[in-house]
Amino acid sequence: MTRLLAAVLVLALGACRAPDQGDVVAPVVERRQAEVGFPDGSRLKVELAETAEERERGLMFRASIGPEEGMLFVFENDGALAFWMKNTFIDLDMAWLDAKGKVTVLHENVPRSTPGMKDDEVATRAGHGLYVLELAAGQAARRKIAVGSVLSLARPGAPAR
């Protein structure tokens, strides 16, 4: 029994440690999803980041993101929002959206950070909105997203926008 407890403790501690140069992948946490409709007519289910903890974690420590994946960050108030891409190991397109789903700012091909990158070298991006949508780099152009585009947002428990 003591050996089993020790083995479980070692596994748990290993899973909780911060990634180092060789550890880039983090497990994907099951999150609520929203459906986003794009100007090209496509629709996509994306993960929701609704709490401060979920927004802070975002897509950090993920090794990849597919063309049919993304994350919608939901904030309490419409306003200036800045993102620092520390420990985000994938290139992204980022769209800031107002309360009606209108794209106010679009940053395409935001470069990934790398393990051990100096803080002042990590990409930062800012915009104004109530939501920020992150997609794999290249998806904004593919889905015809531009400043002024209106995306439809359907979140569980919230009216469609």
Beta strand spans in 6-155 (E): 33-37, 43-49, 70-84, 92-97, 103-110, 124-136, 152-154
Is the domain spanning 32-154 CATH 2.60.120.1140? The answer is yes
Q: Across the 161 residues of the chain, what is the mean pLDDT of every consecutive 10-residue run?
A: 33 35 51 94 97 96 95 97 96 98 98 95 97 98 98 78 56
What pLDDT sits at residue 155? 82
Domain positions in the chain: 32-154
Q: Which stretches within 17-146 are classed as H helix? A: 52-57, 139-142
pTM greater than the 0.85 cutoff: no
Number of H helices, E strands in the chain: 3, 7
